[in-house]
């Protein structure tokens, strides 16, 4: 996450409220699992849900350290969970689930023996056997059709050897052999996407680094985007798109249904955008100054930039330098034009870290906590939804309540019909048990 000191508040004052009266409704929150962590959720086009998480203890209190999964029809009770992994120890498993529009699910997580592995669950079926991806558990992306991709980096500022690596998985196939996209002394992964047409894109940066015993000074950051067209075996490097600059650009990617790609990034105090039509990248366009709109650059696992299949793009961030509001900016991958930031968090103050998801139709959800909203240690989990691209955001609504649910949301998902599902967490009243909760939104 990028913080700015007192630069200019003018943009914050120009933010336009953009919420309608609340449309649709949230169901009653349900407990997904106790003694559980790292909940993640996926949603198909019919609203069928699949969730995956790390189960620390069995109901009797015995330590088991397993990856569990469950499924449910939209708004219905969750089925009894199944163990996918057996005991994998206490190291972070980083579980993630992706669900295609037809309902096929893939679970990805890390084990001590096989490394990164996956299990498949066909629509309406049962989970299959565990297989190795032969890659690393990194930035995991997919599209509605079920094309999947994984990107990761090695090295960094202090090591003298770094790589950017990616692999893809066509629908119904196995993971490809990992391909090294770049190798240099210092590299950093920014983000990745799988566009609706099946193109995979990876944003990464080269940089210089001089390290002392405790800290490193970096410079000459240059951002690239590597792409793999559907059916191709050859990755194409864009060359340097931004830089060299003194700081990292933190590029994030989005794509539409006809092969257009967009990347938004930080450069020289601005959020900037470039788009690609065919093989040519456009000139750089300034979206907004980052003195008011705060670009969330803290982690590549939380995407803040999406496009629907028609090229209508949306960027979500904090709407002021004090991080007291959330704002969205709409753009277009066809002509690389952008509107002004609009406040979407209504009267909610200091919404904290958020999770953003958008479907191929432009239906979207932003999910965030209001910490200790009642003075009794409870967290109110709030959600802002939108029925489609270019349509007003609904007024923020409460999706759940939990005790001491600090930190970030666990997971969100939204389908093309605008149905949404969330996972969030909290503690038991004695602070001994972490609990995962879910809820669903019907537009």
Are 335 and 393 a contacting pair, CB within 8 Å? Answer: no
What residues contact 348, with CB distance under 8 A and at least 6 apart? 325, 326, 368, 370, 382, 396
- Percent helix, strand and coil across the chain, each rounded to 5? 0, 50, 50
Contact predicate 430/405, CB 8 Å: no
Give me the architecture of the 10-29+133-422 domain, per CATH. Answer: 6 Propeller (2.120)
Q: Report, as an integer, the average pLDDT of 134-148.
A: 95
pLDDT digits (tens, 9 = 90+) for 219-248: 999 999 999 999 999 999 999 999 999 999
- The separation between CA 256 and the C-alpha centre of its own chain, rounded to angstroms, equals 17
Task: Of 294, 437, 317, give the one whose Cα is nearest residue 379.
Answer: 437
Alpha helices in 29-158 (DSSP H): none
What average pLDDT does the structure give for the chain? 92
| Domain boundaries of the chain, sorted by first residue | 10-29+133-422
Instruction: Report the SS3 class of residue 11.
Output: helix
Average pLDDT over residues 198-217: 97
Q: What are the tens digits of pLDDT across the range 12-37?
A: 333 444 555 557 999 999 999 999 99
Paired sense of beta strands 342-343 and 16-17, if any: parallel
- CB-based contacts of 146, cutoff 8 Å, min separation 6: 98, 100, 101, 102, 104, 106, 171, 172
Greatest CA separation for the chain:
60
Looking at the DSSP bridge assignments, the partners of residue 289 are 270
CA distance 171 to 182: 26
- pLDDT digit string (tens) for 294-340? 887 655 567 899 999 999 999 999 998 888 899 999 999 999 999 99
Cα–Cα distance measured from residue 365 to residue 340, given in angstroms and rounded to the nearest whole number? 19
């Amino acid at each position: 996450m990028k913080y700015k000191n007192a630069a200019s508040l003018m943009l914050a004052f120009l933010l336009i409220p953009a919420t309608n009266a609340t449309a649709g409704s949230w169901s009653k929150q349900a407990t997904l699992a106790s003694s559980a962590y790292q909940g993640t959720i996926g949603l198909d086009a019919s609203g069928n849900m699949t969730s995956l998480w790390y189960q620390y203890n069995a109901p009797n209190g015995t330590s088991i350290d397993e990856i569990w999964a469950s499924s449910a029809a939209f708004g219905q009770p969750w089925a009894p969970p199944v163990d996918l992994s057996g005991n994998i120890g206490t190291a972070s498993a980083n579980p993630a689930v992706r669900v295609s529009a037809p309902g096929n699910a893939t679970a990805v997580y890390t084990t001590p023996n096989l490394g990164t592995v996956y299990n498949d669950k066909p629509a309406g079926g049962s989970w299959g056997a565990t297989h190795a991806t032969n890659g690393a558990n990194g930035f995991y992306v997919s599209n509605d059709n079920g094309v999947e991709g994984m990107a990761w980096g090695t090295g960094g500022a202090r090591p003298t050897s770094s790589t950017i690596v990616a692999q893809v998985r066509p629908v119904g196939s196995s993971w490809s052999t990992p391909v090294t996209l770049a190798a240099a002394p210092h590299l950093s992964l920014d983000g990745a996407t799988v566009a609706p047409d099946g193109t995979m894109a990876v944003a990464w940066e080269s940089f210089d680094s001089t390290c002392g015993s405790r800290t490193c000074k970096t410079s000459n950051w240059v951002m690239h985007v590597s792409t793999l067209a559907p059916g191709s075996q050859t990755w194409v490097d864009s060359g340097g798109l931004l830089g060299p600059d003194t700081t990292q650009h933190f590029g994030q990617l989005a794509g539409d249904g006809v092969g257009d790609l967009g990347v938004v990034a930080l450069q020289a105090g601005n959020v900037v955008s470039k788009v690609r039509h065919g093989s040519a990248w456009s000139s750089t366009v300034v979206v907004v100054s980052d003195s008011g709109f705060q670009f969330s650059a803290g982690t590549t696992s939380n995407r803040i930039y999406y496009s629907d299949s028609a090229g209508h793009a949306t960027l979500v961030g904090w709407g002021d330098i004090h991080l007291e509001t959330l704002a969205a900016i709409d753009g277009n991958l066809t002509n690389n034009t952008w509107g002004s930031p609009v406040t979407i968090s209504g009267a909610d103050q200091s919404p904290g870290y958020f999770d953003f998801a958008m479907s191929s139709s432009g239906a979207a959800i932003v999910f965030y906590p209001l910490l200790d909203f009642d003075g009794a240690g409870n967290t109110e989990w709030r959600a802002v939804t939108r029925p489609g691209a270019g349509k007003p955001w609904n007024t923020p609504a409460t999706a759940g309540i939990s005790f001491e649910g600090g930190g970030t949301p666990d997971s969100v998902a939204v389908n093309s019909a605008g149905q949404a599902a969330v996972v969030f967490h909290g503690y038991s009243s004695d602070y001994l048990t972490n609990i995962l909760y879910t809820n669903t939104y019907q537009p």
